[in-house]
Amino acid sequence: MTKYESYKSRLARIADLGYTMALQGWDQETYMPEKGADFRAQQTATLSGMAHEMSVDKELGDLLKKLSKKKDLTPKQKRNIEESLKDYKESKKYTTEFVEQLSRVTSECFQAWQKSKKESNFKLYAPHLTKMIDLKRKEADILGYKKHPYNALLDQHEPGATVDQLDVLFKDVREQLVVFVKKIAAAKQNDDSFAYKNYNKDKQWNFGIELLKQMHFDFEAGRQDISMHPFTTNFSPQDVRVTTKVIENNLKSMIWSCIHEGGHGLYEQGLPSSEYGLPLGEAISLGIHESQSRMWENNVGRSLPYWKANYKHLQKYFPAHLKNVSLDHFYKGINLVKPSLIRIEADEVTYHFHILVRYEIEKLLMEGKIKVNELPEFWNEHYMKYLGVKVKSDAEGVLQDVHWSHGSIGYFPTYSLGSFYAAQFFHQANKDIKGLQKNIEEGNMLPLLNWLREKIHRHGKFYSAEDLCKKVTGEKLNFKYFMNYAKDKYSVIYNLK
């Protein structure tokens, strides 16, 4: 066995443990009985400790250092070693005790969040979230950072991104999107009341499955289930799990949960199986990952060509509800721009105000300038400030997202990054794929999927997010593509001059 083959074998075993933990997490959010929580936390902590010990093993470190000096590696092999050595050095900063503690607190925090959300009582969650935030601040210190502790955690989700960069980006959101939303608010509003009738859950589910099949989500290499909060996870490119949320009096929730998570799932299924456990078998960043889901959800799934392909079929599922709703009425209704309480149900324009609130909270938490028990008040005040909506309960406010219970601090900004990448990528796809809009109108999603496979999915972590964006579009991330997309689309929908 060559040194590189030995490296691959070691990384595959570490990945086996990681994906086993991911399987436990999927089960915990879908089918696990409530009483299984304590032992599940123990089991996951044990596996986390084992995986950490393998990832910081001295023999692995020595092997990586030797491989990093070899001159005969292929470009892909070299990139794998570079990324693995970086990960090794980061992992060495953690103790096994800290990793196991973080795993236990994460399991306990998630269970507390579920209970708190059901009862709409933040106080049940606060002590657990406080432990989590204390650990994440400690983790930032362990990792080390420049300028701001948030940078250490942000880098875990969006390598290379910094607070300085995000502050500029969200300045664009404040200065450009806010003004545009005010123009829309002053226009005649469209009607979306048709979406809130009673839609049979089973029929919704079946329609969602058909949308996933149309996207070419491979059900022989994946499945869909129900969860409290829609998500995607994977255990290999041949086993990708997506979940959705079906609400009988909200047709929008299921449709765009399916399309959104389907976009994530397609990315995971498109990663090279030959690189299992290696950096080139993993997604580049959460911003790029989110670009795939937001492109399918918004640039495709909320477009007029998409519904020219699918609306008559939806009407067949729900003839009594939609027989008197024209395609134009439906299209304008599903693209209603209106400030709302729930992030995952927000329109694609005001959505970024939801992210802005979370970004500001996370920075303050990491700085120690706000305490956990102050979050509901801060949240409610800023939802009124940015969105002009009144939060009536913890469940529809500060408890609506699962992310903090997972310890995913630094995750939320990637949602906005994803939307901005999506607009830029889709702009390029329309230039590269002849008749793309006609293909979508005919229900043919394969040309777009093939383009994404070639341009993005197959590369894994070979490129950084910034370099990939430059390779695909010729320039780094540029907010203008999202702003132009939003203006072009909604100026027509709202008849703006």
Pair (333, 452) in one structural domain: yes
Please list the active-site residues: 261
Question: How many domains does the chain fold into?
Answer: 2
CATH number of the domain bearing residue 440: 1.10.1370.30
Pair (24, 80) in one structural domain: yes
Pair (242, 172) in one structural domain: yes
Pair (250, 303) in one structural domain: yes
Segments of the chain with pLDDT less than 70: none
In a domain, 478, yes or no: yes
* Chain segment 42-58, per-residue pLDDT in tens: 888 888 888 888 988 99
Pair (444, 393) in one structural domain: yes
pLDDT for residue 316: 97
pTM, 2 dp: 0.90
pLDDT for residue 239: 95
In a domain, 157, yes or no: no
Pair (314, 192) in one structural domain: yes
Pair (77, 205) in one structural domain: no
In a domain, 155, yes or no: no
Pair (192, 123) in one structural domain: no
* Chain segment 154-166, per-residue pLDDT in tens: 999 999 999 999 9
pLDDT for residue 110: 92
Among candidates 97, 112, 51, which has minimal Cα distance to 406? 112
Domain assignment of residue 7, given as a range: 3-144
pLDDT for residue 37: 80
pLDDT for residue 325: 97
Among the candidates 93, 113, 144, a domain finishes at 144
Pair (235, 381) in one structural domain: yes
Pair (135, 231) in one structural domain: no
pLDDT for residue 32: 85
Pair (431, 307) in one structural domain: yes
Among the candidates 144, 173, 189, a domain finishes at 144
In a domain, 150, yes or no: no
The residue written with tokens 């701001």 in the block is 148
Pair (430, 292) in one structural domain: yes
